[in-house]
Structure 1
């Protein structure tokens, strides 16, 4: 119980001091807040957001969850973001998952259309193949957190305190 309290305290401290966590919360507010929308994000911000959405969804519930939830609408931006970050193994895994579910069709931005195609593609075989891709993604073959941070710095999305590097 005490270890859990200490871990929670450390997480709260990081939430208040880590520039990448602070920036992510700012993005969440901009996308989902009162004047919500993706349209106000720059290309770099949109790509950073999309890669974060893929990562969060896949770690939470796999590629199936990513495409099922609203985050699936970020597919094209996620492809661009993975390329821009140099996360080519993660890019390939996302493309394979897309191919398994949607074939050569585009990933619909509309959630209902995406879910309809997802349901039509579902099978035990699909679940097994997606599960394997999930496991490969979880192995973090590109060290995605580091690449995301480097991207955020290089695009001037995040500036580290006390650093001349932007």
Structure 2
């Protein structure tokens, strides 16, 4: 199992490298499968690095929505529930005129979320870090298993 997780991680790094090395970061130049792998890589890299806010502020709502679809297809229901709840919590800022770019969200979030809600956002990050769906293994089975 660890070999499978590592195989998907290696594959996701290779596809993400291809995105930049061969396509200048233009997602539309990757195949649909490769775009999905990059979206999983983005989710995993940012969620484990800085949590949901880093993930969402780096990649935006369109990437988020496409990632939700991927998680659904993979059967990663717990991860999907976590990021969906996080997004609903930060959606309170969507009509704030001060939000000119995604990284403005963390600047004003504490004006909208009380201490309990902020704690919940942190708890959701921690729940994700527990790897509830074993996303790397699910992704291996979906994207690579038939090629192995």
Unaligned runs of 5+ in 2: 95-99
Q: Give yes or no for the alignment of 1:127 onto 2:115.
A: no
Name whichever structure is richer in helix by fraction: 2
Q: CA RMSD in A?
A: 2.7
Q: Which one scores higher on RCO, CA 8 angstroms, separation ≥ 6?
A: 2
Cα deviation 1:76-95 (Å, max 9, x = unaligned):
22111101111011011111
Q: Give yes or no for the alignment of 1:97 onto 2:86.
A: yes
TM-score (ref. length: structure 2): 0.76
Unaligned runs of 5+ in 1: 1-13, 106-111, 161-166
Q: 1:45 offset after TM fit, Å?
A: 2.1
Residue 109 of structure 1: aligned partner: none
TM-score (ref. length: structure 1): 0.69
The number of equivalent residue pairs is: 136
Runs of 4+ aligned residues of structure 1 deviating over 3 Å after TM superposition are: 70-73
Label 1:71 to 1:30 Cα distance change in 2 as closer, same or farther (>3 A): farther
Q: 1:71 offset after TM fit, Å?
A: 6.7
Larger Rg: 1
Q: Give yes or no for the alignment of 1:24 onto 2:12.
A: yes
